[in-house]
Amino acid sequence: MENIVIISQNRPFLGAQIVHLPLISFLKVKYPKSKIHFFSKSEISKALLPLGSIDHVIIEQSKGHFLEEYRKINADLTINLRKQSLWHFWIVALFSKGKKVGFSSVLTNLFYDQTSDNNVSIYRANNYLSLFDAVIADESRARKKQVCIIPGAGQKHKIWDLDSYLEVAQQIQKNYSDIEVIFLLGEKEADYKHKLTQFTVHINMNLEQLYHCIGQSLLVIANDCGPSHLAHIQAVDMVSLFSNERLDAPSTIDEWYLKRSGAKLIQSDAHKSINTISVNEVLDAVQHLLAKSYQHEFNSRAQFA
């Protein structure tokens, strides 16, 4: 398999890009000598390049540009994730001589080689992997004595109050004096820094830096935000806070939250602000997950030292 094309789903958000990574990793393991070409309509997709699994990101400038670039590649395998786009369906169906994979429809079932139902009630990354009858692989790796807190989010109603996060961080330091608490901030949260002088703070890390920082953590505590998906896909324990103020939490959680033993979900009640979630409720979840992971990761190491 020399050339693989992924036609990515069309959402210009960091989290929507990150959930492609398990599929990309799966393909790279299955076809290690292949080149992966990632078609996108958003420049944000280029953030995936430093992680090393994608060889080429093509930003689609027009339908004609997509056709021209797609035909140049002469793909041996095309994965079309854009179920709603008839244009992309027909270009792949008519011009690809390689294997064609996509979500089930009347047309794809007739013209593609391999299809699977588009299941929006499961975590989106696993929905993509279902095209190959796979799920996210459990990444086993050594962890550091650190907890990452991500207090930002794309929309204001998704943001738990910084003072509440501070209480949680201070309690972690009190209970685990050897654990480093790290706050990961974006551009919009840069002014939080003056309140976080007792903690390590990173502002505007690139995706590669975020991937490694989160991936080596014992625990992540976060709102519903893009970087939180880096914990899900790397099997890092996580406490996730969701707002149900707009009654959209159940459907959001189905598609954008990976239900697993190492993740604890806390959501506000219907029509209630995320800030009605109490500090004690979050601390109970943190203590449960941190005690388990800390004991497993470091006490077991000490036994064999």
Quickly list DSSP for 10-28.
Answer: ---SHHHHHTTHHHHHHHH
Question: What sign does the dihedral 255-135-292-221 (CA atoms) show?
Answer: negative
Q: Residue 259: how many CB atoms within 10 A of its CB? A: 11
Beta-bridged to residue 155, according to DSSP, are none
Side-chain half-sphere exposure of 63, counting CA atoms within 13 A: 8
Task: Give the closest residue to 162 by CA, choosing from 190, 142, 187, 141.
Answer: 190
pLDDT value for 299 = 61
Alpha-carbon span 3 to 132, nearest angstrom: 17
Residue type, 189: E
pLDDT value for 304 = 29
pLDDT value for 91 = 98
Alpha-carbon span 165 to 149, nearest angstrom: 8
Strands 200-203 and 114-116: unpaired
- With contact defined as beta carbons under 8 Å apart, do 75 and 3 qualify? yes
For residue 244, give every residue at least 6 positions away whose Cβ sits within 8 Å of its Cβ, in sequence order, or none.
250, 267, 268, 269, 270, 271, 272
**Cα 288 versus chain centre, distance:** 23
- Containing 106, the helix (H) or strand (E) segment is helix 106-111
Alpha-carbon span 69 to 65, nearest angstrom: 6
pLDDT value for 305 = 34
Alpha-carbon span 99 to 97, nearest angstrom: 7
Which residue stretches of the chain have pLDDT < 50? 300-305
pLDDT value for 301 = 47
Alpha-carbon span 128 to 39, nearest angstrom: 15
